[in-house]
């Protein structure tokens, strides 16, 4: 049996001439066939440093250049030994660098009529002695330059500078920088790179206006967006202000837009947009008057001096309400029937020399085309104790053992209290009281004297003087009972004194002694 033995061979991959860009990665592979255990070696033609990393494998070896640099511009030789046989092959590595488009700088910042300098930079070029640069304005060639005499041995950024006087017609035209690296017999792309930039003049701000969405008169609660629009190069700095001043708006600004998510009545006012161009050193302002519309809100009533006043005083009630258009204010008073009667139309209602018929519920109504709101206040008239009627039964002159009942009727607001005092020779004695009607049971001569009935409330007081004289004795004496004082407050209407006293008298004759308080409870 004949077995075919493959001959020992080698190759370098890639096999053809290599063109590599500086800064990238290049891998050369030396591959063998027909040899079980080859050995490899790499060197340059002139025995310069390899400028890469060698890795041997079973049947092949690699030389990795990462990154590729100008040091790698050589003929590389790979030698392979298989037992006593040796084979060699070489490959030429050619380098270039043309990694990015040109960079154009125009300075100073262009203003019509002033000289301008165009700078075109071509980054990291190699070999630069093949570089050609053309500057154009639109299709017109401004300047051409080549670097054929350049002797740079590494990558370099090459610069072309050209100055000219632009005209007003040149503003907005394109300046183009065309860089070419045409190296014969080197296969790489691109060999031409282009960058363009417009001649822009610095101007403005001008034609500055504020647009309001949804409009200048949004409804209360709706969103409002104000946009400041201007023409300026470079773009201006925008500053917002408001009259009357409101610091809150500074938190609602984003660039040239002022956004109010929920408009309030206090957001009404004059808004000012100030556009500032820091290059031209010019400023322009625009204004817009914003009026927030809505129905009456936050309606309030203030009363001077107070909701409770003395008879004869003057009271002023003022109704305020937010809204736009400004609400119309009117006043109504609730009648005894429960219906409201319109009495006045203005924000301030003044009642002079207030009388007893003036208290009651007063209603303020705020109204405009978008709705109405009402508020009410209760007015009270304070009256000191007056129209006091004092009844002493059976009379101010009584006999020992009899009962003396003192009662009174009054009119006052707020309700009055009563205190009965007995004036002693040395000091004033204030007698205790229960339920307000005063009853002296089985009086003795010690009860003779002057009594003061003090009727009072928050507004004032009134004092009545009662002189009681106890003389002689009744033919039939009742059982002696301690002195009892009772107190009750009677306001606004007199107690039907006579009927009660007759009733009490009869009961007293039957029982010998009786309390007016019990009699009143029985009648109820």
pLDDT at residue 68 above 90? yes
Length of the chain: 524
Cα-only R_g, the chain = 57
User: What DSSP element (H or E) covers 301?
Assistant: strand 294-304
Q: What was the pLDDT predicted at 481? A: 34
What are 495-522's pLDDT values in tens digits? 333 333 333 333 333 233 333 333 333 2
Residue 45 pLDDT:
82
pLDDT of residue 425: 64
Mean pLDDT of 12-26: 90
pLDDT at 523 over 50: no
CB-based burial label for 283 (10 Å; 0-12, 13-18, 19+): middle
Contacts of 216 (CB under 8 A, 6+ apart): 288, 289, 290, 291
In a 10 Å sphere around its CB, with 0-12 CB exposed, 13-18 middle and 19+ buried, how is residue 176 labelled? buried
pTM, two decimals, is 0.45
Q: With the C-alpha atoms ordered 290, 293, 298, 302, is the resulting torsion angle positive or negative?
A: positive
Rounded to an integer, what distance in angstroms lies between the CA atom of residue 137 and that of residue 142?
Answer: 6
Ranking 12-21, 48-57, 104-113, 418-427 by mean pLDDT, the lowest is 104-113
Measured distance CA(213)–CA(224) in Å, rounded: 6
User: Average pLDDT over the chain, rounded to whole?
Assistant: 84
Q: CA-CA distances (angstroms) from residue 180 to 49, 94, 122, 128?
A: 32, 18, 10, 10
Alpha-carbon span 12 to 31, nearest angstrom: 6
pLDDT of residue 78: 94
Q: Using one digit for the tens of pLDDT, what is the confidence trace for 450-490?
A: 899 999 988 899 999 999 999 888 665 443 333 333 333 33
Contact of 101 with 109, CB cutoff 8 Å: no
Question: Cα(69)–Cα(66) distance, rounded to whole angstroms?
Answer: 8
pLDDT of residue 5: 63
Residue 115's pLDDT is: 82
d(CA 250, CA 386): 64
CB 301 within 8 A of CB 377: yes
Residues 500 and 523 sit within 8 Å (Cβ to Cβ)? yes
For position 31, what pLDDT does the model report?
Answer: 95
Predicted confidence band at 311 (pLDDT cuts at 50, 70, 90)? confident
Q: 10 Å Cβ neighbour count for 142? A: 16
CB atoms within 10 A of CB 286: 18
Whether 222 contacts 214, CB under 8 Å = yes
**Average pLDDT over every residue of 412-435:** 77
481-495: pLDDT as tens digits: 333 333 333 333 333
Burial (0-12, 13-18, 19+ Cβ within 10 Å), 38: buried
Give the residue-averaged pLDDT of 188-215. Answer: 90
- CATH numbers and ranges of domains, the chain: 9-96 (2.60.40.10), 103-201 (2.60.40.10), 208-292 (2.60.40.10), 295-379 (2.60.40.10), 384-468 (2.60.40.10)
For residue 159, the model assigns a pLDDT of 96
pLDDT number for residue 476? 53
State how far the Cα of 101 lies from the Cα of 109, in Å rounded to an integer. 22
Tens of pLDDT along 234-292?
889 999 999 988 888 888 888 899 999 999 988 999 999 999 999 888 999 999 999 99
Place of tokens 């790499």: 42
Question: pLDDT tens, 379-410?
Answer: 998 888 888 899 999 999 999 999 999 988 88
Token representation of residue 493:
């209407």
Give the mean pLDDT of 117-121. 94
- State the pLDDT at residue 432: 59
More confident: 411 or 212: 212
């Amino acid at each position: 049996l004949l077995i075919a033995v493959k001959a020992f061979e080698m190759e370098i991959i890639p096999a053809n001439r290599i063109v590599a860009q500086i800064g990238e990665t290049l891998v050369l592979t030396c591959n063998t066939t027909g040899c079980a255990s080859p050995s490899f070696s790499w060197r340059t033609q002139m025995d310069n440093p390899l400028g890469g990393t060698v890795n041997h494998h079973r049947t092949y070896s690699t030389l990795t250049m990462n990154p590729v640099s100008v040091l790698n511009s050589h003929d590389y030789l790979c030698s392979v030994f298989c037992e006593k046989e040796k084979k060699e092959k070489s490959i030429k590595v050619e380098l270039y660098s043309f990694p990015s488009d040109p960079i154009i700088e125009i300075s100073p910042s262009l203003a019509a009529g002033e000289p301008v300098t165009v700078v075109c930079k071509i980054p990291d070029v190699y070999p630069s002695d093949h570089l050609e640069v053309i500057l154009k304005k639109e299709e017109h060639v401004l300047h051409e330059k080549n670097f054929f005499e350049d002797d740079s041995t590494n990558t370099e950024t090459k610069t072309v500078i050209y100055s000219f006087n632009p005209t007003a017609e040149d503003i907005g035209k394109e300046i183009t920088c065309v860089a070419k690296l045409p190296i014969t017999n080197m296969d790489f792309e691109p060999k031409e790179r282009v960058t363009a930039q417009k001649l822009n003049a610095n101007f403005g701000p001008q034609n500055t206006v504020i647009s309001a969405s949804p409009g200048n008169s949004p409804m209360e609660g709706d969103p409002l967006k104000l946009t400041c629009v201007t023409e300026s190069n470079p773009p201006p700095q925008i500053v917002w202000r408001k009259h009357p001043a409101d610091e809150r708006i500074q938190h609602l600004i984003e660039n040239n837009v002022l956004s109010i998510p929920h408009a309030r009545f206090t957001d009404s006012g004059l808004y000012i947009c100030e556009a500032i161009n820091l290059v031209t050193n010019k400023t322009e302002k625009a204004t817009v008057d914003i009026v927030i519309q809505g129905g009456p809100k936050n309606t309030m009533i203030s009363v001077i001096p107070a909701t409770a006043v003395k008879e004869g005083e003057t009271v002023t009630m003022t109704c305020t309400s937010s809204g736009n258009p400004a609400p119309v204010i009117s006043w109504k008073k609730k009648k005894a029937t429960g219906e409201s009667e319109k009495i006045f139309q203005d924000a301030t209602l003044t009642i002079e020399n207030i009388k007893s018929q003036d208290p009651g519920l007063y209603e303020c109504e705020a109204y405009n085309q978008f709705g109405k709101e009402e508020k009410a206040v209760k007015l009270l008239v304070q009256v000191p104790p007056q129209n006091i009627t004092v009844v002493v039964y059976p009379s101010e002159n009584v006999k020992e053992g009899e009962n003396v009942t003192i009662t009174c009727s009054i009119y006052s607001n707020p309700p009055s209290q009563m205190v009965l005092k007995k004036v002693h020779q040395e000091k004033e004695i204030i007698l205790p009281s229960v339920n307000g009607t005063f009853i002296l049971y089985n009086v003795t001569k010690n009860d003779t004297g002057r009594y003061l009935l003090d009727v009072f409330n928050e507004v004032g007081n009134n004092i009545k003087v009662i002189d009681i004289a106890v003389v002689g004795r009744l033919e039939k004496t009742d059982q002696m009972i301690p002195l009892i004082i009772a107190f009750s407050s009677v306001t606004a209407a007199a107690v039907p004194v006579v009927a009660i006293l007759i009733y009490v008298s009869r009961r007293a004759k039957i029982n010998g002694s009786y309390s007016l308080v019990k009699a009143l409870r029985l009648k109820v």
